[in-house]
Amino acid sequence: MRFSENHDTGQPCLEQVKRGFSVSYRGKILLSRVDPVKQAERVVASSLPLNERTLYLLPSPLLGYGIPLIIEKLPSDSALLCVEADEVLAAFSQKYINALNVAHFGAIHFIQTKSPSALAFFVRKTWGQRRFRRVETLCITGGWQLNAEIYEAQTAALRRVIATEWSNAMTLSKLGRLYIRNAIRNLVSLASCPGVNALSFDGRPVFVLGAGPSLDDFLDNFEQEPPPEGCVVICADTALRPLKERDIKADLVVALESQHWNLRDFSGLGGWHIPLAMDLSALPAVNKVLGGETYFFWTRWTELSLFERLSVLKLLPPELPALGSVGLSAVSLALSLGTGPVFTAGIDFSFTLDKYHCRGSPSHSEALAGHTRFGTIYPAAAFMARHVHGTLRSDPVMKNYRDLFEAEFAGYGRVFAIEGGLPLGVETLSYKEALSTIRKVDFDKLAVSGFPRSDEGCTPKSALIKSFIESELAMLRELLSILKGETGTEHLDFLLDALSYLWAHFPDCAGMGEVHPSSADIAFLKRVRVEIEPFIKTWTSSLKGL
């Protein structure tokens, strides 16, 4: 028996077979001609037992065969997501998936999309962060073969997102407390330092320099044939000393690192008077080294109520995406401050056998200084690299940053990579080709690029920051009083939510937004109690800086 749909019209065709129904579409039979239900269940059974905390991705579910068995065997902390890349098949399948959902109380999620990023967004919106530890694909029907590359890309994207979530959570557990303390200490500097939106590069070409090994060749070319006057040079903090050794003065240096060892990037550069763009969570001491103007931005490393309070008072500087790499942040900053072409150099995400960074960088200088007959300058990482591109080595972390670079910047059309390092997913140019592109820019029609101080008066902003800090201290002291048993608990839940920076770095909370254990959880409250007094000291010390 053949139903009314005809595959010759480009529509799915439902056919009755020996046991159940099969589907034909675009000249292909997508389910078994004999017993499609049993065949689907055999595929599911071959994947049993289903794992905990796993997202099972079912591409092209068609009639939903095998799904009831998946739901029956699915652990409570795992989930099933059906995805269809083909719009026609999605419309065809929807009624069958809806019927199954009614029978299984909405346990099945279904989405039609070809986009890996849209699928990743749907997963995060539906289940939140850190719900799953892995992604597994269940190819039950033949429909997935029609768009196999799309489904593979979607699976890979979901795996990257989940890996990134857990990696970010581990970073937050280790460094989250430091991030917020640095932000508190830097907050008082916002009274006298403007945000990066005080800068503008107009349509001028911008060079963004990292400290990868390829920066050496770029700087050789830069010295021999400097670019036209009017170009802007932005560098990562690690590239500052190599520029100093060649007497090349950057127009702006970007600092992102929160830990104290970041100071070695500025060793010997005191009083060089180079403008600095720094993250609100960066090491506060960096602000005092170069002696030039400082411009702040901030990155949302996690969700905190503190940010919302600062935003309402207009105390936060401009926000940049949290990309985790100073090179990526520098490119993002260049794109946000101008409309001209952006050329990257030394953002390699790779290293050579003898150099992890370029000449003059702190790590390379230290390797040379420590070189003896009994040691070697060759970085140990060069012999453990998993990813090799020609003579270059890389590792999974760098490779992820490379992928993030492409995902963030390839769509702009005005980002170019100067030869060296891993391919970044944007057009690669030689130095001469970059100069040829730059010479097409009419500099006479561009506004003067400058680094003005903010026009805002410092006194009103100082008073606002002082009032804000005093408010934070009042809430901390009230919470401390409650946890000591000195006052009632009616404000406990409110204070725990408002002061989320006390616990956002806890391993069971990191990367979970502002979700925390119940206020009835005594162990959680004891951990919060330990955090309060150090933060009171940090806020008090910051208040003295006004």
**pLDDT tier, 386 (very low <50, low <70, confident <90, very high otherwise):** low
d(CA 115, CA 87): 12
Can you give the pLDDT at residue 27? 81
Mean pLDDT to the nearest integer, 152-175: 89
Query: How much of the chain exceeds pLDDT 70, in percent?
Result: 93
Can you give the pLDDT at residue 78? 93
Task: Name the more confident of 184 and 404.
Answer: 184
- Is residue 14 pLDDT above 90, yes or no? no
Task: Name the more confident of 472 and 41.
Answer: 472
**pLDDT tier, 7 (very low <50, low <70, confident <90, very high otherwise):** very low
Can you give the pLDDT at residue 274? 92
Tokens of 251: 């127009």
Tokens of 412: 């702009």
Can you give the pLDDT at residue 377? 65
- On whether the CB atoms of residues 229 and 198 are closer than 8 A, the answer is no
**Which stretch of DSSP H or E encloses residue 148?**
helix 148-187
Mean pLDDT to the nearest integer, 166-173: 87
Highest mean pLDDT among 1-10, 20-29, 534-543: 534-543
Exposure string over 93-124, b if 16+ CB within 10 A, otherwise e = beebbeebbeebeeebbbebbbebeebbebbe
Can you give the pLDDT at residue 311? 94
- Is residue 385 pLDDT above 80, yes or no? no
**pLDDT tier, 456 (very low <50, low <70, confident <90, very high otherwise):** very low
- Is residue 248 pLDDT above 90, yes or no? yes
Can you give the pLDDT at residue 475? 97
Can you give the pLDDT at residue 295? 95
Task: Let me know if 443 is exposed, middle or buried by CB neighbors in 10 A (0-12, 13-18, 19+).
Answer: middle
- On whether the CB atoms of residues 321 and 397 are closer than 8 A, the answer is no
- Is residue 287 pLDDT above 50, yes or no? yes
- Is residue 455 pLDDT above 60, yes or no? no
- Is residue 383 pLDDT above 90, yes or no? no
Can you give the pLDDT at residue 2? 38
pTM of the model: 0.81
Per-residue pLDDT reduced to its tens digit, 71-110: 999 999 999 999 999 999 999 999 889 888 877 877 889 9
d(CA 292, CA 270): 10
The conformational region for residue 498 under phi > 0 = left, psi -120 to 50 = alpha, else beta, is alpha
- Is residue 49 pLDDT above 70, yes or no? yes
- Is residue 505 pLDDT above 80, yes or no? yes
Mean pLDDT to the nearest integer, 110-138: 91
Neighbours of 125 (CB within 10 A): 8
